[in-house]
């Protein structure tokens, strides 16, 4: 754990994870989609992707993503990073993730008009809108998604990564 996480909001998140009784899986998703201005890291996303192959973890992951996706404008980073994580999971996570977000596509589609101007008048909503568009297009194009998932799986194999079960 990096020292930064012991300060400020990181600490609060750790406390919240504890007091609200979040499981390890939920805490991982919360960390990956936090308000910190960096990340989610590849390691974090990969770990969550592997966890999505377990049915219980899968349910907890989408539950937490659901909360984050529906967060308010001020927490646009929650929304943006959830979309980033979803994009990753669609490529490297279990088929359940693909099925779930295809069925609930409207959750993402309706973020195409997400709006938020920060205190400096900067349009932070644009990031969310673009990401929502990209994912909507990906989910609407079955063959492209298949192809991208296959390429990714092949690459992992060639790089000698452990195969998923």
Is residue 109 involved in binding another protein (CB under 8 A)?
yes
Could you say which of 95, 113, 147, 157 contacts another protein (CB under 8 A)?
Answer: 113
The encoded tokens of residue 71 equal: 């967060």
Residue 118 binding another protein, by CB under 8 A:
no
For another protein, which residue of 103, 144, 146, 164 counts as binding (CB under 8 A)? Answer: 103
75 is a site residue for another protein (CB under 8 A): no
Residues 29-58 contacting another protein, CB under 8 A = none
Does residue number 111 form part of the binding site for another protein (CB under 8 A)? yes
- Residue 75, classed as helix, strand or coil, is helix
Residue 100 contacts another protein per CB under 8 A: yes
Q: Find the distance separating the first CA and the last CA of the chain, reported in whole Å.
A: 28
115 with 160: CB under 8 angstroms?
no
Q: How far is the CB of 37 from another protein (least distance, A)?
A: 22
Query: Cα(68)–Cα(151) distance, rounded to whole angstroms?
Result: 29
Q: What pairs with residue 54 in β-bridges?
A: none
> Sign of torsion, CA 112 114 117 118?
negative
The nearer residue to another protein, 56 or 110, going by C-beta atoms, is 110
Give the whole-angstrom CA distance, residue 68 versus residue 50: 20
Q: Closest CB to another protein among 142 and 157?
A: 142
24-32 vs 42-51: helix axis angle to the nearest 10?
Answer: 140
Is 15 or 126 the residue whose CB approaches another protein more closely?
Answer: 126
Binding site for another protein (CB under 8 A): 62-63, 66, 70, 72-73, 100, 103-104, 106-107, 109-115, 123, 126, 129
């Amino acid at each position: 754990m990096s020292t930064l996480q012991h300060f400020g909001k990181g600490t609060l998140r750790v406390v919240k994870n504890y007091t609200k009784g979040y499981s390890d899986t939920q805490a991982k998703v919360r960390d990956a989609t936090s308000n910190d201005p960096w990340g989610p890291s590849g390691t974090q996303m990969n770990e969550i992707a592997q966890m999505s192959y377990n049915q219980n973890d899968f349910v907890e992951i989408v539950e937490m993503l659901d909360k984050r996706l529906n967060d308010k404008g001020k927490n646009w980073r929650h929304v943006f990073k959830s979309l980033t994580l979803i994009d990753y999971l669609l490529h490297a996570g279990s088929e359940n993730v693909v099925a779930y977000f295809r069925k609930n596509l409207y959750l993402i589609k309706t973020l195409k008009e997400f709006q938020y101007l920060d205190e400096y008048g900067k349009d932070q909503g644009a990031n969310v809108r673009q990401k929502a568009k990209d994912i909507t297009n990906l989910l609407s194009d079955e063959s492209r998604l298949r192809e991208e998932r296959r390429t990714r799986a092949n690459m992992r194999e060639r790089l000698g990564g452990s195969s998923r079960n």
